[in-house]
Amino acid sequence: MSNKYNLDKENSITDEIYFRNRRKIMSSSLVIPFLLNSSLFASTRKNLPFIKDTEFSTNEQTNTIKQITSYNNFYELGSGKRDPMFNSDKLKTDEWTLTIDGLVEKPLVLSMDDLIKRYQLEERIYRLRCVEAWSMVVPWIGFELRHILKEVKPLYNAKYVSFESILDPVNLPGQKRNVLNWPYREGLRMDEALNPLTLISVGLYGKVMPNQNGAPVRLIVPWKYGFKSIKSIVKISFVEDEPICTWNQQAPDEYGFYSNVNPYVDHPRWSQKRERRIGEFGKRDTLLFNGYSKFVNNLYTGMDLEKFF
Ligand SMILES: Nc1nc2c(c(=O)[nH]1)N[C@H]1C(S)=C(S)[C@@H](COP(=O)(O)O)O[C@H]1N2
Ligand SMILES: [Mo]
């Protein structure tokens, strides 16, 4: 096995469904599939410099760029899985800044150029397991969140890290209604934030982040359900108390603060024992901590994972 990219094969079932729907949506029959294909997926994204990680990356087959950019959850761009792709141009990422504040010695405000130059970027191939029982394997580009922590120096009373996404109801179609309590928010315990698996990601497949995947900067926490991996982050704050998390606030019985991938604790409305890898027909077993036990087990020793789900 090797870390070979799964370059766009045109024959997967998701691609087929996608093209069928797309043809329905495009009213003009003059749009030939070739044009459609090239304009939607031809990459104008800028290349990023990076080194390849071997320590934490999986050597499973990666999902295709098409699969990764056409089946997303990103409620700011709509609640359907295809909405983020169709509405991707509604996310405005110009002049983006990332603010790091709260209980720290040295707060920071970084432009995207600053951020990309400041930290050595790595390619990390991670599984991402959505709470809705599907998963993907993505070659993310990013750096460990703990490198930011080292720099801002959290104060002794900082016990959690809170993350906030963009708020732009003028442009973001999903934010024109209160589908969620905007802006989208997430949080981690300090030791989870310091774990080397926890990534700040600025791209995938060697290039800057596609809008639908959370451009220009997002979090990746591979042992937790996908919704913890907050997209399009504008602010990271160090705080004393457990921060508000959007899905936990929305439905506390269904989504806990921890949300570690756990096949032994079902969601109240469905099983978490198995998952469908996007592009595959059958299902595979879901692994405890999404298969990252070796790296994160120790964070939860002595904790009742049914209570702290
Ligand atoms: N701001 C924001 N971040 C978000 C979401 C969202 O709706 N808004 N959806 C989450 C969910 S449920 C998942 S599964 C992942 C999907 O990431 P991907 O589209 O890159 O696969 O993003 C997460 N981050
Ligand atoms: Mo998700």
All domains in the chain, ordered by first residue:
14-300 (3.90.420.10)
**What pLDDT is recorded for position 292?**
98
Residue ranges of alpha helices (H) inside 105-180 are: 112-118, 145-152
Distance CA 230, CA 219 (A): 5
* Ranges under pLDDT 50 in the chain: 1-4, 6-30, 32-39
C-alpha 84 to ligand 1 mean position (Å): 10
Shortest-distance ligand to the CA of residue 132: 2
Quick one: which H or E segment has residue 21?
Answer: helix 13-25
**What pLDDT is recorded for position 19?**
42
The residue whose CB lies within 8 Å of the most ligand 1 atoms, and thus the one to mutate among 68, 165, 229, 244, is 229
Q: Is the CB of 213 under 6 A from ligand 1?
A: yes
**What pLDDT is recorded for position 2?**
43
CA-proximal residue: ligand 1, atom 21 (nearest): 72
**What pLDDT is recorded for position 40?**
54
Match 């774990």 to its residue by tokens.
195
Listed as own residue / partner, the contacts of 241-247 with beta carbons closer than 8 Å and 24 or more positions apart are: 241/159, 241/160, 242/160, 242/187, 243/160, 243/161, 243/162, 243/185, 243/186, 243/187, 244/162, 244/185, 244/187, 245/185, 245/186, 245/187, 246/180, 246/181, 246/184, 246/185, 246/186
CA-proximal residue: ligand 1, atom 20 (nearest): 213
